[in-house]
Amino acid sequence: FSYSKIITDQSFGFGRRKAKRPSSSSSSSSSSSSSYSMSESGASKFFSIVSDDLLLEVFLLLPHRRYLIQCSTVCKRWFSLISRPEFSRRFIEYHERKRSSDCSYSLPYTLLLRASPNTHRPPICDILSKESKSLHGEQSPSVGIYSHILPQNGIIRASVEDLVLLSRYPNKYCIYNPLTRQGLWLPVAPRGYCFKCGFACEPKSSGCSSTNISDQYRFKVLHIAGFSNNWNNRNDYVFDGELFCSETGKWSKLVFSFPQRLAPNLKFVADFVASRGILYSLVEGVDDNQICVKGIVALDLSMDDTSEEDRNRCRFIHLPNNFGRGWRARRGKVCFGVVRGQLRLSQLVKINEEAVLKVWKLDCSNNDVEWVLVHHARLKCAEETSTSVAAFHPYNGDVVFVLRDEEIYKFEIGEEKYKKVGEFWGLGLYCTKEKLPASLRAFTLVYPSWPTPISKIP
């Protein structure tokens, strides 16, 4: 290559030609002058003459709002640049686009495992990714961060993105962001106590994009007080629910039902889990005189009419065909969660010396839902330890969190790689080691670059 011969100007007689400089329109359209001379300067000079646009370009690349806020206290200029509403919107859009287009893009996350569902302050095991530790700051404890940060008066019931739903007996709910500590207690639910609940949070459609960032999400909270007294139709389970919607700020009635024969002696395994505007809950029933997982109840919240019972709203999803039945489908052997917004179901069964792990994802792309087996792996495990899947990784489908006795391991499926990431402390008072797999509740928090704001109730 014969380029970049450095020649001094004198050796060429180009002086007669019209020399040009880049037109100002092609360089960045910054508000400050684009001409500069920095012959003797250093950092301080650079930051005094660098254009607003270029500086904003730097701020845009910071991974989280935490860093923006910190930068805004560096000097007045940085403060005024970062405080521009159009910059905030651009920051959110930039990171959203990056997240949806780059499948290797990872966000900080926290996994919260709660031991027993019935106690008010149950033992919690929290597992924070490295990045989420830095978001929570240096001063926060490395373990027990959530018992530290969650309000004392609420029990965690559900999580979506970086928000949690807390409940307080008998019928109070709070939407809470554990990072920013912004919280909102909802009006008291009309009837009954919190039997089962669910929480969905989704961006409002871009069509009615509000200028206010804190107003861009819609929250829905489902409150089920219990079975209905309406036993007119003896073949169906009928549920009396209430649905809170942040846009109206009110609770409205939501009744749903499904045939009893699908899950005789029905029991909900846990609260509902949200994925793409639909709430899912694993249910148990009696099968061959055994209590075992029978299927999944799916509840579509997007339907407008909440006034009366709607058969289409509720759907019963049967277990995959190759799912082990009977004792294999007992509660502690089945795990259920969301990976990248897609529902996953796992079954881990130990036969003789060998444990077999199967993982399915729920494909909703067609009108009909369909289970797709994504993992079928054999695990070596020591004879005396019990192993169960505690939770799914929020965005890596090849990783599950595994419970072994009282310890939590991050397990890479197929690689046979375990890494201890946490353990339960003080379990004895509340729950035995043997009961732990079946009573474990997992909540995943994923931190978007801009913490999800909680709008006020109208």
**Smallest separation (angstroms) from another protein to the CB of 66:** 5
User: How far apart (Å, rounded) are the C-alpha atoms in residues 424 and 123?
Assistant: 7
User: How far apart (Å, rounded) are the C-alpha atoms in residues 335 and 433?
Assistant: 17
**Smallest separation (angstroms) from another protein to the CB of 34:** 6
Number of residues forming the site for another protein (CB under 8 A): 67
Say if residue 458 is preceded by a cis peptide, omega within 30 of 0.
no
For residue 59, state whether it binds another protein (rule: CB under 8 A). Answer: yes
For residue 362, state whether it binds another protein (rule: CB under 8 A). Answer: no
**Smallest separation (angstroms) from another protein to the CB of 352:** 45
Instruction: Find the angle CA(381)-CA(386)-CA(392) to the nearest 5 degrees.
Output: 85
Tokens of residue 111, six digits? 């996994």
For residue 28, state whether it binds another protein (rule: CB under 8 A). Answer: yes
Look-up of token digits 């277990």:
319
For residue 277, state whether it binds another protein (rule: CB under 8 A). Answer: no
Pick the binder of another protein from 114, 115, 122, 136 (CB under 8 A). Answer: 136
Please name which of 388, 383, 422 lies closest in space to residue 402, comparing C-alpha atoms.
388
- 165 to 184: interface string for another protein, x by CB under 8 A: --------------xxx---
Using the minimum distance from each CB to another protein, give the nearer residue, 35 or 352: 35
Calculate the alpha carbon distances from 330 to 214, 264, 290, 326, 403 in Å: 43, 15, 9, 7, 16
| Contact range with another protein by CB under 8 A, out of 32-40, 184-192, 281-289, 369-377 | 32-40
User: How far apart (Å, rounded) are the C-alpha atoms in residues 363 and 373?
Assistant: 10
- 372 to 411: interface string for another protein, x by CB under 8 A: ----------------------------------------
For residue 70, state whether it binds another protein (rule: CB under 8 A). Answer: yes
Residue 432, helix vs strand vs coil: coil
For residue 212, state whether it binds another protein (rule: CB under 8 A). Answer: no
Q: Virtual CA dihedral for 360, 362, 225, 259, nearest 10 degrees?
A: -100
| Contact range with another protein by CB under 8 A, out of 13-21, 367-375, 381-389, 439-447 | 13-21
Bridge partners, 389 (sequence order): 402
Pick the binder of another protein from 43, 208, 351, 382 (CB under 8 A). Answer: 43
For residue 229, state whether it binds another protein (rule: CB under 8 A). Answer: no
For residue 23, state whether it binds another protein (rule: CB under 8 A). Answer: yes
User: How far apart (Å, rounded) are the C-alpha atoms in residues 211 and 398?
Assistant: 39
**Smallest separation (angstroms) from another protein to the CB of 168:** 23
